[in-house]
A = this chain, B = another copy of it.
Amino acid sequence: MRTSIATVSLSGSLTEKLTAAARAGFDGVEIFENDLLACPLTPEEIRARCADLGLTVDLYQPLRDVEAVPADVFARNLRRARHKFELMRRLGADTVLVCSSVDPCAVDDDALAAEQLADLADLARDSGVRVAYEALAWGRHVSTYDHAWRIVEAAGHPALGTCLDSFHILSRGSDPKGIEDIPGEKIFFLQLADAPLLAMDVLQWSRHHRCFPGQGGFDVAGLVRHVLRTGYDGPLSLEVFNDVLRQAEAGPTAVDARRSLLVLQEAVGAAEPPPAVVPTGFAFAELVTPDAAPLAGLLDALGFARTARHRGKPVDLWQQGEARILVNTAAAARRDGTRLAAVGLESPDPAGAARRAEAMLAPVLPRRRAPGDAPLDAVAAPDGTELFFCSTRPGGWRSDFEDVPHAPAAPSVRRVDHVALTQPWHHFDEAVLFHRGVLGLRAEDSVDLADPYGLLRSRAVSNADGGVRIALTVGAAPTDDTAHAQHVALATDDVVAAARRFRDAGGRLLPIPANYYDDLAARYEFADGELETYRELGILYDRDAHGVLRHCYTRTVGRVFFELLQRDGGHRGYGARNAPVRLAAQHAAGTP
């Protein structure tokens, strides 16, 4: 199917928007009227620019409040339409969108609406234009798709059809099944947008909070399935009004948009990309640092041993149990201080995972390997983190490392439980959909975390058995994407023993205020001495319906800290309830 995007969904000048849409692989665009008015190019030049970029102009929407109005008003509307149809001829756009009227002088008269729309369609046909009539969710008299279709049907004009918009249909809770009663050739256009499930004024919801399909709470795929059953063969076109995307760079937004349609097309059976290969665990987490010593001290105290060194690069492997941390001191990677730069995802089919990622528009990273290195495919996540698809079996990435002598020790931790990554502010929704669409992870619920200096939002993505969990966090303001720390959470069967061992080895745990423990005492009953142990070590405590979570934190090195975490009874959370206390303690320690 052809894909299209409304220019209002992207930021910048019209030419910037067209370039971004074409680069992301869209076939066409809807041109938003203000973008054209503000553009120094003539309509003919815009048409030529689109043609050069391989884009068709699929829709233009310069008309409002056209129908069901008194005769003198309608005469003025036709005058305006005549101007606009001439413009569309110059622009090479053959479909005009007409939204149901919100004009206070519009009357509740379907016959009049049909008659005037037919008159408009007559005029349009003379200019080679088709009229697509759409019900706005807040239209004065026409606000549902079936009502708009009844008027189109009554008009019975070959140049008049309907336009369906998933937001207008699903925001009202209309049943999209009735779409199948509309002949496909009378559906002139299909606009797609998702939105978070907010209980708010529908106009404000529509104008400020739309998002790309798969990023909100609507069943957009279900709606598209109904549309496809009618035989509709026009484009899938994204029309997303979103305050955040208005500020974001057009290029990444266009890729995000195109990826959302790929996921949608797969879901409705309209495309067959390589199937998702869900990762089964963490092969490693890779930290880059200008100075290995502070990390080495921290890892040693946590119970890791330096077990191997890369054969060709300054990269050490630290390991205990199935937890593996790479410490990379290569010059090229050291510019930004100590940070979590890459994650190795254990994959049952690394090559297949890479094919999926590439098909889903993940930027494929050049392989930086020497002859003899194991093949290792990597893509960049939206936050720049490198994701490696790998296998820890013999012959895999591990064979690039040479064992170094180390003292054996009883491990404190078993494996990496999760990694937490701060996301770019303007592309948080993209990050969640990326991890779903590219990696096949599922998204958990979004939670707000109160930081002393702003509200953070966090959403985890995970596989079915919890072997891979990634907490995606976004700061309170656009400038915050590098201000907050990343962390690696290490799963242990005995957090008290692991914390003691860390402390006894000279590690410094994040101190937690005594007031927190007084509150725990008020909230729950504990065995004798239990709370005192938590208090002594700075262990935080939470319960959910499944079980108990106990966790504590190291101090921060650069942007990175570690968490020791014990899940009992299948506790599924990440300690969101404790996050305000932890964040305040980190600010107090000077390492937010």
Contacts and interface: CB of A to CB of B under 8 A. Distances in A.
A33 B581 CA distance: 11
Nearest to A10: B452
A450 B198 CA distance: 23
Given A476-B246, A588-B13, A523 B452 contact: no
Contact of A477 (B453, B477, B580): B477
Contacts of A62: 519, 522
A414 B578 CA distance: 62
Contacts of A36: 515
Interface stretch (A39-47, A232-240, A282-290, A427-435): A39-47
A201 interface: yes
A38 B453 contact: no
Given A200-B199, A522-B83, A39 B515 contact: yes
B518 A87 contact: yes
A473 to B, nearest CB: 15
A514 interface: yes
A247 B513 contact: no
A204 B200 CA distance: 10
Contact of A476 (B38, B247, B455): B247
Contacts of A587: 13
A523 B453 contact: no
A585 interface: yes
Interface in A1-54: 11-13, 33-34, 36-40, 42-43
A588 B11 CA distance: 14
A12 B453 contact: yes
Contacts of A514: 40, 42
Contacts of A12: 452-453
A522 B84 contact: yes
A336 interface: no
B80 A37 contact: no
A117 B115 CA distance: 66
A585 B80 CA distance: 24
A47 to B, nearest CB: 13
A80 B520 CA distance: 10
A478 interface: yes
Given A13-B587, A198-B200, A454-B246, A83 B521 contact: yes
B246 A513 contact: no
Contacts of A109: none
A13 B33 CA distance: 48
User: DSSP majority for the A interface?
Assistant: helix
A219 to B, nearest CB: 21
Interface residues of A, number: 53
B585 A453 contact: no
Nearest to A15: B588
A247 B453 contact: yes
Interface string A499-517: 0000000000001011110
A46 B479 CA distance: 33
A148 to B, nearest CB: 24
B246 A38 contact: no
A532 interface: no
B453 A588 contact: no
A181 interface: no
A479 B516 CA distance: 35
A38 B33 CA distance: 51
Interface string A451-462: 111110000000
A453 B11 contact: yes
A185 interface: no
A204 B204 CA distance: 15
Contacts of A200: 198-201, 204
A568 interface: no
A292 interface: no
B204 A34 contact: no
A444 interface: no
A584 interface: yes
A62 B467 CA distance: 37
Contacts of A175: none
A524 B39 CA distance: 21
Contacts of A33: 519
Contacts of A291: none
Contacts of A79: 522
B37 A455 contact: no
Interface in A237-292: 243, 246-247
A521 B84 CA distance: 10
Contacts of A39: 513, 515, 584
A584 to B, nearest CB: 3
A243 B37 contact: no
B34 A581 contact: yes
Nearest to A577: B34
Nearest to A425: B477
Nearest to A40: B513
A519 B81 CA distance: 11
Contacts of A201: 198-200
B584 A38 contact: yes
Given A12-B453, A40-B511, A62-B522, 5 more contacts: A38-B515, A38-B584, A38-B585, A83-B518, A246-B453
13 contacts: A12-B452, A12-B453, A33-B519, A38-B580, A38-B584, A38-B585, A39-B515, A40-B511, A84-B522, A198-B200, A200-B201, A247-B476, A477-B478
Which 5 A/B pairs are nearest by Cβ-Cβ distance? A38-B584, A200-B200, A83-B522, A199-B201, A247-B454
